[in-house]
Chains A and B, each alone.
Chain A
Amino acid sequence: MNDEFTAIDARIDAVLAALARRQSGDVSFAAPADPAADELAALIASADDPNADLQFSSDADSGLFAGLQAEFAEFTRTLWRELTHLAIVETRGDRGALRTSIGWTGDTTCEIAGTVDPARAHAHAVAVTVAVAGFTRRLRLLTTLATAAGKIAAMVATPGGALAALPVAYKCTRDLYDQWNTTTRA
């Protein structure tokens, strides 16, 4: 799937590769420092040490990890709720209306009320395409997260590293996505 996430995937791979080189001691002074790799290294260190300083947490009483875990859990809940929710697109004209509902498996029901001209029907079809693109985009984000989590899990030494890797992957993907968004849409 060649889309905006392909660029994010490549950026995540580059950050993970920089981190892997650092962990193996293969660091060249000629290579520029990557702040994203620095931050990811700090996050992985925190995942390995649950008592680590909680520099990323907004809540002083909870740790970096607790805050991130709660945020990730909420993100996942919201994502699945949106994905499994029926998308409904309505287009109204002077003499008629179109209403299409799309289930997440692709099952589609369209209702045509009154008279609908071809231009209105086309506008409706475009609106349906946009709604469908939103669905697939959210799922693609989840795929990116799962891929990053799999790679980060291998870098977390703590038993149960896979579980600890998820919030780290979430933060890493979110931050890189935000950076990508800022630079490409500026």
Chain B
Amino acid sequence: MATSEIKEALRTAANTVAEYVKDCGVLTVKTHTVEVAAGTAPVLAASTEIKLDGDNRSVVPAVKSADGKWQIDTALYDLHMQNVQAAIAYRDKMMAAMLGLLRGG
């Protein structure tokens, strides 16, 4: 019985690795703002999509000043970019570990 459990566990592991590879084509980081008192749904404030081929697309929060120039909300932008950096570092480590797993170390 235990041997079949191990086979099942390995099958699950292999499926999970395959699922991971399928899902990691695009890395998405989103930052929302929420007005708790108003009880409204979260509003997307910034988002970044990074594709495996290096293409990336970012939407950052900005307002137009009185003289018509765009000004970025730096606090929100910094927080969002921290999340982007953390996500990239995490993805790198996960990919390295996955490759290590596939080649056996």
- A residues neighboring B (CB under 8 Å): 1, 9, 65-66, 69-70, 72-73, 76-77, 80, 83-84, 97-98, 100, 102, 104-114, 116, 118, 121, 125, 128-129, 132, 135-136, 139-140, 142-144, 146-147, 150, 163, 166-167
Contacts and interface: CB of A to CB of B under 8 A. Distances in A.
Contacts of A139: 94, 97-98, 101
Contacts of A72: 6, 9
B101 A143 contact: yes
A72 B100 CA distance: 20
The bracket for how many chain B residues form the interface is: 35 or more
A160 B59 CA distance: 53
A106 B90 contact: yes
A139 B16 CA distance: 12
Interface of B: 1-3, 5-10, 12-13, 16, 20, 23-24, 27-36, 42, 45, 75-76, 78-80, 82-84, 86-91, 93-94, 96-98, 100-101, 104-105
A102 B93 CA distance: 14
B90 A135 contact: yes
A70 B2 contact: yes
Grouping DSSP codes into helix (H, G, I), strand (E, B) and loop, the A interface class, with mixed when no group exceeds half, is helix
Nearest to A140: B97
Contacts of B96: 1
A166 B7 CA distance: 10
Contact of A69 (B5, B76, B91, B97): B5
Given A77-B12, A80-B16, A108 B87 contact: yes
